[in-house]
A and B are shown apart, each in its own frame.
Chain A
Amino acid sequence: MSLTADNLGVRIGGATLLHDVSLAAHCGEVLGLLGPNGAGKSTLLSLLAGDRAPSTGAVRLHGRDPRQWPAEALARIRAVMTQSAAVAFDFTVREVVDLARLPHAGRSSATEDRRIVAAALDLADVGHLAERIYPSLSGGEKQRVQVARALAQIWAATDDAPARFLMLDEPTASLDLRHQHMVLDTVRRFVAEGVGAIVVLHDINLAAAYCDRVALLHGGRLIADGATRETLTVERLSRVYNVALSAIDNGSGGPHFVSRTLPRSVAAAHCISA
Chain B
Amino acid sequence: MSVAILKAAATIRRPGRMPVLVGLGLLALAIALAGLALGAMRIGVADALVALAHRLGLVDGVVSPQHDAVLFAIRLPRVLLSLAVGAALAASGAAMQGLFRNPLADPGLVGVSSGAALAAVATIVLGDKVLHLLDAAARPWVLPAAAVGGGLAATALVHRFGLRHGQASIATILLAGIAINALCGAGIGLLTFLADEQQLRSLVFWTMGSLGATTWTALPLALPLIVLPTVGLMTATRALDAFALGEREAGHLGVDVERLKRRLLVLVALATGASVSVCGIIGFVGLVVPHLLRLSCGPRHRLVLPGAALLGAGLLTAADLAARLMVAPAEMPIGVVTALVGGPFFLWLLLRRLSASAA
Other-chain contact of B244, A49, A89, A132, A133 (Cβ < 8 Å)? A89
Main SS of chain B's interface residues? loop
Please measure, in the bound complex, the distance between the C-alpha atom of A132 and the C-alpha atom of B9, giving whole angstroms.
8
B253 and A99 contact, CB distance less than 8 A: yes
> What are the residues of chain B within 8 A of A74 when measuring CB–CB?
254
- Asked if B5 is at the interface of the complex by the 8 Å CB criterion, the answer is yes
Q: Give the size range of A's interface with the partner.
A: 20 to 34
B13 and A71 contact, CB distance less than 8 A: no
* Shortest Cβ gap from B300 to chain A (Å): 6
- Asked if A92 is at the interface of the complex by the 8 Å CB criterion, the answer is yes
- Asked if A84 is at the interface of the complex by the 8 Å CB criterion, the answer is yes
- Asked if A219 is at the interface of the complex by the 8 Å CB criterion, the answer is no
Known: A102-B238, A136-B5. A88 touches B101 (CB 8 A): yes
- Asked if A127 is at the interface of the complex by the 8 Å CB criterion, the answer is no
* Shortest Cβ gap from B121 to chain A (Å): 35
Please encode chain A, from 149 to 166, with 1 for each CB lying within 8 Å of some chain B CB and 0 for all others.
Answer: 000010000000000000
Give the B interface residue count (CB, 8 A). Answer: 33
* Shortest Cβ gap from A34 to chain B (Å): 23
> What are the residues of chain A within 8 A of B243 when measuring CB–CB?
88
Of residues 228 through 246 on chain B, the ones whose CB sits less than 8 Å from some CB of chain A are: 238-239, 241-246
Please measure, in the bound complex, the distance between the C-alpha atom of A105 and the C-alpha atom of B239, giving whole angstroms.
11
> What are the residues of chain B within 8 A of A92 when measuring CB–CB?
12, 14, 298
Known: A84-B249, A132-B12, A136-B8. A91 touches B299 (CB 8 A): yes
Give the nearest-CB partner of A80 in chain B: B252
- Interface-central residue, B12, B103, B255, by most chain A CB under 10 Å: B12
* Shortest Cβ gap from B239 to chain A (Å): 8
> What are the residues of chain B within 8 A of A73 when measuring CB–CB?
254
Give the nearest-CB partner of B101 in chain A: A88
- Asked if B185 is at the interface of the complex by the 8 Å CB criterion, the answer is no
> What are the residues of chain A within 8 A of B12 when measuring CB–CB?
92, 131-133
Please measure, in the bound complex, the distance between the C-alpha atom of A95 and the C-alpha atom of B300, giving whole angstroms.
8
> What are the residues of chain A within 8 A of B242 when measuring CB–CB?
99, 102
> What are the residues of chain A within 8 A of B254 when measuring CB–CB?
71-76, 102-103
Please measure, in the bound complex, the distance between the C-alpha atom of A134 and the C-alpha atom of B8, giving whole angstroms.
9
Give the nearest-CB partner of B239 in chain A: A102
B299 and A102 contact, CB distance less than 8 A: no
> What are the residues of chain A within 8 A of B11 when measuring CB–CB?
131-132
Please measure, in the bound complex, the distance between the C-alpha atom of A89 and the C-alpha atom of B255, giving whole angstroms.
19
Please measure, in the bound complex, the distance between the C-alpha atom of A80 and the C-alpha atom of B247, giving whole angstroms.
13
Known: A88-B244, A90-B294. A100 touches B253 (CB 8 A): yes
* Shortest Cβ gap from A17 to chain B (Å): 14
* Shortest Cβ gap from A98 to chain B (Å): 9
Give the nearest-CB partner of A134 in chain B: B4
- Interface-central residue, B244, B246, B248, B255, by most chain A CB under 10 Å: B244
- Asked if B3 is at the interface of the complex by the 8 Å CB criterion, the answer is yes
* Apart from the given pairs A84-B246, A99-B241, A102-B242, 10 other A-B contacts in the complex at a CB distance below 8 Å: A51-B252, A75-B252, A82-B252, A87-B244, A88-B102, A89-B103, A90-B299, A92-B298, A102-B254, A132-B12
The 7 lowest CB-CB distance pairs between A and B, nearest first, are A75-B254, A89-B299, A88-B101, A131-B11, A136-B8, A72-B254, A103-B254
